[in-house]
A and B are shown apart, each in its own frame.
Chain A
């Protein structure tokens, strides 16, 4: 399962020591905060490329990125988008123009000024519009995902350049003066700021880093230069980077003390979840993130024993784990097939057994605090609460599928070599067999291959080779309409290949709707619609957990510049500038 989170929002709890299960330390700002010290942060995977306009960061990379880069806007614990590097953001009445008034006096780590020119260069890189001499070799940045997002062509990625008349997104990016940038849109874009935050993935890079080249072997990938609380001290090492305090960081805490508090953060890769928890217990790691039930329980046991702190994400803005199914080809282009698989799969059992009783069954795309959320008893999904009845209905749906197509219902699910994934699919296979549905599990493949094949399907160039189903983890909460990226026809990441005019209509309308309540209602409609048509087998909410040793405090840190509560465990992501060590 993978989380290519674009928009991640906050856990609802942000108070000191309040972290759900397990015990916690000081999480927010504290008068007792001390300066100095170094932490070792164990992450689950490595990141090869920190040229952010071209990178597709997973959680591990996002955590690192948030240490080095700042974003123009940020997301608070309440899910609101607030100014960050921008001092203020003004939007015109119909959301076709955004003006960013930048903070003055900020420098990148290499001494280059953070100003309008730098922001224009960054935004052009993200939307694939950089021209010489801004890039070493004069080529536009091959920014595929972000090119799609920021240009938002209704016909898909390939048409961004070929049919620009169908671009809804960014029209122009212009420096009005040294500290003012205006971004205009082709069409109203109400949730632009959500995507401009992108979980901290839309960081502002120094012009020097951008000019170093995004091509293969280019320095942009391995030399991180931002305005963030920490500098990249051991470039070009990016797998296990060492970040050291930025002495000139622009942020201070409420008492005027310079941030960050820490001298350094050393990242270590440890893909084995048991070893990440062992490392916390044994003292080799100070922090880590966890997303599986078993290891979260292990960490909670540690904190119950007083030897660690655990911060389990609470309902509100969680992402989801599910079986993603390909609606673009047989068998799942048939609604009876989708319904049969959904009903035959025992989501309760899978969630309980595979996640040690920690996670809960999800009701659809949006968690409790996200607009468009549906309650479990009113989510429009086929009713699978009574197992026997659900199985019977599954058999009927499978039989209907066979009548319509002449073939019995069977499909292949792709898996990686992650043990948990294979176990989950094996459990699902047993469930489906009870309804006479045949699911085979592929030999393990690389995650990149799954994504590559899914992209081919989404782009329409490789539908035949696109997976029929695979386990996926995604859709952390925030602005609900921002999820259109994953479901709009023609999107390169519409892995479920949902090519539905109603979904498109609702999302495009939501994207342009300025009123929050109206937008949330549109999201609710699209959520309900997708549930009723069973476009995927939504399974469980993922309670990401941050585990630390007992010397670590301030994991969420001080309030954001406008006083908003800082993001706290946004699917494993949080700021680093407020962390301090007690003895």
Chain B
């Protein structure tokens, strides 16, 4: 019953967010300067462009255009590119997995490094190690991911030829090559996250380590490692989880830039190309998909709270 209620809330939230985000985005796209037909036919008369606009429904009233798009979206038709007629669905089928891989690997790498670091720096708060790690975190936070990406590509890729500078290989075709191509973009995207997550976890851990139950565990002779990772980590992870979910937006934005730099055929690159060529329908669909993903991920995080903290489960 409770699960149904939760699911119901998620669905309602999803629909509301989707409507708001897509309506606002649609409106903002229409306000952007530039004409998609001018991109298709830059050297053309106004009469020719009007004819094409009419064919594509771009002369219809705003609400009609939005309504048509919304109807198609909910029936699984994400629209077509103006120039080639290629369906957005077909494009997404190929590109979404690439972006999901990039973001998934980035989050995984970030957490894999940030969690132990956060725990250790909290445990050794005030030491040289802690100060050094924090300084490094601030430094990495200040470095834009595209700068880091270019540096990695230039040195690790071009100069020293340790890893490819750019490109993509499907996992199914060659897993080793797949990961070789993904290392640099994943690192470029993950680094700033590592810094954020490490700092957050450290703060929460420091507070948690002051709690009575931790003191009790220590008094009972529980090893420091078990105290840290078995007892203190879980209740300290809620903020980390919340921020990880909220950070999806930043991650997606970063993925767009990283995909272009590293020539990854992901959704981010589709978005970049759609912006350059004023592909309103495609852009609208991409934004909607991102909104859906965002809501779903944060819903999943809500569920994970209950897993992590039994008190929330009981409440």
Interface-lining segment among A86-94, A314-322, A447-455: A447-455
Is B85 an interface residue when CB atoms closer than 8 A count as contact?
yes
Bound together, the chains give a CA A446 to CA B276 distance in angstroms of 7
What total of chain A residues lie within 8 Å of the partner, measured CB to CB? 47
Contacts of B158 in A (CB 8 A): 277-279, 281-282
Contacts of B81 in A (CB 8 A): 48
Contacts of A516 in B (CB 8 A): none
Number of inter-chain CB pairs below 8 Å: 131
**Residue in B42, B83, B166 whose beta carbon sits within 8 Å of that of A284 in the complex:** B166
**Residue in B154, B263, B277, B278 whose beta carbon sits within 8 Å of that of A270 in the complex:** B263
Contacts of B42 in A (CB 8 A): 56, 448, 451-452, 455
Bound together, the chains give a CA A158 to CA B39 distance in angstroms of 20
**Closest partner residue, chain A, to B35 (CB atom):** A452
Contacts of A56 in B (CB 8 A): 42-43
What total of chain B residues lie within 8 Å of the partner, measured CB to CB? 43
**Closest partner residue, chain B, to A449 (CB atom):** B34
Which of A56, A157, A236, A278 gathers most chain B CB within 10 Å?
Answer: A278
Is B116 an interface residue when CB atoms closer than 8 A count as contact?
no
Contacts of A448 in B (CB 8 A): 34-35, 38-39, 42, 277-278
Q: For the complex, would chain B's binding face be called helix, strand, loop or mixed by DSSP majority?
A: loop
Q: Flag if A217 contacts B40 (CB, 8 Å).
A: no
Contacts of A451 in B (CB 8 A): 38, 42-43
Is B174 an interface residue when CB atoms closer than 8 A count as contact?
no
Contacts of A275 in B (CB 8 A): 150, 153, 165-166, 261-263
Is B218 an interface residue when CB atoms closer than 8 A count as contact?
no
**Residue in B40, B46, B278 whose beta carbon sits within 8 Å of that of A216 in the complex:** B40
**B30 shortest CB reach to chain A, Å:** 15
Q: Flag if A216 contacts B82 (CB, 8 Å).
A: yes
**Closest partner residue, chain A, to B160 (CB atom):** A282
Q: Flag if B166 contacts A278 (CB, 8 Å).
A: yes
Contact mask B261-283 → A, CB, 8 Å, 1/0? 11101000000010011100000
Q: Flag if B161 contacts A283 (CB, 8 Å).
A: yes
Is B254 an interface residue when CB atoms closer than 8 A count as contact?
no
Given A236-B84, A448-B278, decide whether A282 and B157 contact each other with a Cβ distance below 8 A.
Answer: yes
Is B56 an interface residue when CB atoms closer than 8 A count as contact?
yes
Bound together, the chains give a CA A459 to CA B48 distance in angstroms of 13
Q: For the complex, would chain A's binding face be called helix, strand, loop or mixed by DSSP majority?
A: loop
Bound together, the chains give a CA A409 to CA B42 distance in angstroms of 30
Q: Flag if A455 contacts B43 (CB, 8 Å).
A: yes
Is B226 an interface residue when CB atoms closer than 8 A count as contact?
no
User: Which parts of A489-534 form the interface with B (CB within 8 Å)?
Assistant: 492-493
Is B199 an interface residue when CB atoms closer than 8 A count as contact?
no
**Closest partner residue, chain A, to B159 (CB atom):** A281
**Closest partner residue, chain A, to B157 (CB atom):** A282
Is A183 an interface residue when CB atoms closer than 8 A count as contact?
no
**A448 shortest CB reach to chain B, Å:** 4
**Residue in B33, B41, B52, B154 whose beta carbon sits within 8 Å of that of A278 in the complex:** B154
Is B86 an interface residue when CB atoms closer than 8 A count as contact?
yes
**Closest partner residue, chain B, to A302 (CB atom):** B158
Contacts of A222 in B (CB 8 A): 84-86
Q: Flag if A221 contacts B84 (CB, 8 Å).
A: yes
Q: Flag if B34 contacts A46 (CB, 8 Å).
A: no
Q: Flag if A274 contacts B38 (CB, 8 Å).
A: no
Q: Flag if B263 contacts A158 (CB, 8 Å).
A: no
Q: Flag if A278 contacts B38 (CB, 8 Å).
A: no
Contacts of B34 in A (CB 8 A): 445-446, 448-449
Is B45 an interface residue when CB atoms closer than 8 A count as contact?
yes
**B8 shortest CB reach to chain A, Å:** 40
Bound together, the chains give a CA A216 to CA B279 distance in angstroms of 13
Closest 4 pairs (CB-CB, A-B):
A217-B85, A452-B38, A282-B165, A281-B158
